[in-house]
Amino acid sequence: MSWHIYVLSAIFITAGIFHFIKPKAFMRIMPLYIPYHRTLVYLSGLAEVASGIGVLFIATRVISLWTIVIMLILFFPVHIHMLVHKKASLNLPKSILVFRLVLQFGLIYWAYQYI
């Protein structure tokens, strides 16, 4: 197994854990039209941790990678919302917010190449 898959795993496990450590920050970046902020923050955190672990095992790798790809696509509205609304930006510079949006495409490609 390539070391890249371990890095991908670590990224998603770490990101998922932060959903439980700092849930209010994740709720703040969600667009208002998305309901159940707290529940979705915890569910997405759990999905990120489970997918991050899942990519490490042959039996669960493909479903975990597809879950990561789908989550990254579903997260686009959040990243756009952060870019457009100052209150949701977490006071990050616009350049970082644009970079995060572009990074989504790279992460999707990265996960997809292992499917």
Domains of the chain, residue spans: 3-112
Q: Is 90 exceeded by the pLDDT of residue 110?
A: yes
Taking the alpha carbons of 102, 96, 9, 43 in that order, is the dihedral positive or negative? negative
Q: What is the pLDDT of residues 10-46, one digit of tens each?
A: 999 999 999 999 999 999 999 999 999 999 999 999 9
Note whether 20 and 45 are within 8 A (CB): yes
Q: Is 90 exceeded by the pLDDT of residue 72?
A: yes
Taking the alpha carbons of 54, 58, 64, 68 in that order, is the dihedral positive or negative? positive
- Backbone φ/ψ region at 34: left (φ over 0), alpha (ψ -120 to 50), beta: beta
Q: Round to whole Å and give the CA distance between 79 and 101.
A: 6
What one-letter code names the amino acid at 15? A
Q: Round to whole Å and give the CA distance between 74 and 25.
A: 18
pTM: 0.94
